[in-house]
Amino acid sequence: MTIYNFSAGPAVLPHEVLLQAREEMLDWHGSGMSVMEMSHRGKEYMSIQAEAEKDLRELLAIPANYKVLFLQGGASQQFAMVPMNLLRGKKSADYVNTGEWSKKCISEAKKFGAVNVVATGADKNFSYIPAFDTWQRDPNAAYLHYTPNETIGGVEFNWVPDSGSVPLVADMSSNIMSRPIDISKYGLIYAGAQKNIGPAGLTIVIVREDLIGEVLTGTPTMLDYKTHSENDSMYNTPPTYGIYIAGLVFQMLKRKGGIATMEKTNITKANLVYSAIDASNGFYHCPVATSDRSRMNIPFTLKDAALDGDFLKQADARGLLQLKGHRSVGGMRASIYNAMPLEGVQALVNFMGEFSKLHG
C-alpha cells in the first residue's frame, strides 16, 4: 500500500530526493563521509551550501542586492529577528492579522515596538483576507508584515500587497517555492524549511542588503542579520544536513521545470480537492472564502462531526495519513505541498467520494 502523508509540517519530502539521500548517506560523492559528519568549513560541505544557494537564487530569480541566509530557529525566531533588525530607528510597524501565525508574530513584535494592525480577519474567524482598500496603513511604518499563507486556517493571498516605499516583509514558511514570486517587491522574506524545502531545523531568509546593519540596542550577535550576512551563514555551525536536503530539492525542482511548472501542478491538485468538496452537496464544507482558498492547506469539515473519527480511521487504512485538522479549527486538513504527488491527491479525492456516498 502506498502511503500519502498530508501532514502540515514537518511534511512529505520528494521521494526521489529521499532515495538520493539514502544512496549518499554513508559516502557523499566518494568523500568517505556522510554530510552529517563533514566540517562545515571543509571544501566538501562548502560546495554543497554554495550550490544550494546558487540553485535557490536561480529558481526564485533573486536579485544580486539580496542576501540569502541559512539560519536556524524556525519562523518563530524570525518573529523577533524582524523587528530587531528592521525597526531601524522607527517606533512602529504595520502587521496584517489573517490567522494563528499572524497572531503569534504580532504578539512577539509587540515586545520590541508598537504594532499597528492594519487589517484583521478575526470578525469572520479568519476565513478570508481583508480587501486591501480597507487596510489602515501607516506611511511612516518601519515595514509592513503579512503571512501569505496561513497553514492552520487555510487562507492564502493570491496577490501581493503594494507597500509603496515601506519595506514589505513576508512569512512564506508554507507556500515558498509553490508559485513564482517577484522578490524585488519585498524587503525581506523568511521561511521555515519543513513544508516545501526540506527537513525541520533550517530557516531561509532572503533580505535586501540595505535593510541589514541597523539593529536595536542590545540585540544578541546571533540575532543580527549582519552577523550571518558577513559570514556566509557560517558564523556558527549551520544546519548542514538540512541545507544538503534543501539543495537536493532545489536540484529536483530545476529538473522538473522550475517554480512555474510547480505552480501549474499545485493548481491542479488544489482544484481536485476543492471540486470534491464543492460537489459533495454539503457533505463536506470548506469555511474559507473561495477567492482566498489556500493551494497548500485545505481545511474542511464533514456535515456531521460524529463521522470525523470514522473518516480518519478509514483514511488511515487507505494510507491517507495526517488528515486531522488543527485542534483550534477541528475537522480535517489536507496539506498538499509541492512534494505531494498528484496521485496522492487523487487517492484522497476518490476516498472522499466513496465515504460521502456511504454516509451521505
Point out the catalytic residue in the list 195, 224, 292, 324. 195
Contacts of 6 (CB under 8 A, 6+ apart): 12, 320, 321, 322, 323, 333, 334, 335, 336, 340, 344, 348
Given the residues 28, 55, 101, 292, select the one marked as catalytic: 101
Query: What type of residue is 316?
Result: D
Residues 321-342, mean pLDDT to the nearest whole number: 94
Active site residue 195: yes
What's the confidence (pLDDT) of residue 328? 77
Q: Which three cell numbers stand for residue 133?
A: 482598500
What mean pLDDT is predicted for residues 305-325?
97
Does the annotation mark 28 as catalytic?
no
The class level of CATH for 258-359 reads alpha beta
pLDDT at 327 over 90: no
171 is a catalytic site residue: yes
Q: Comparing C-alpha atoms, which of 235, 201, 177, 208 is closest to residue 9?
A: 201
Exposed, middle or buried by CB within 10 Å (0-12, 13-18, 19+), for 162?
Answer: exposed
**Active-site position among 55, 67, 103, 171:** 171
Tell me the per-residue pLDDT of 250-263, one tens digit each, with 9 for 90 and over: 999 999 999 999 99
Nearest to 251 by CA among 13, 52, 43, 35: 52
Domain regions of the chain by residue span: 15-255, 258-359
Average pLDDT over residues 149-172: 97
- What does CATH list as the number for 15-255? 3.40.640.10
Q: Please check the confidence at residue 160 and state whether its pLDDT lies above 90.
A: yes
Answer yes or no: same fold for 15-255 and 258-359.
Answer: no
How sure is the predictor about 226, in pLDDT bands with cuts at 50, 70 and 90?
very high
Contact 107, 82 (CB under 8 A): no
- Dump pLDDT digits (tens) for 89-133: 999 999 999 999 999 999 999 999 999 999 999 999 999 999 999
First to last CA, the chain: 27
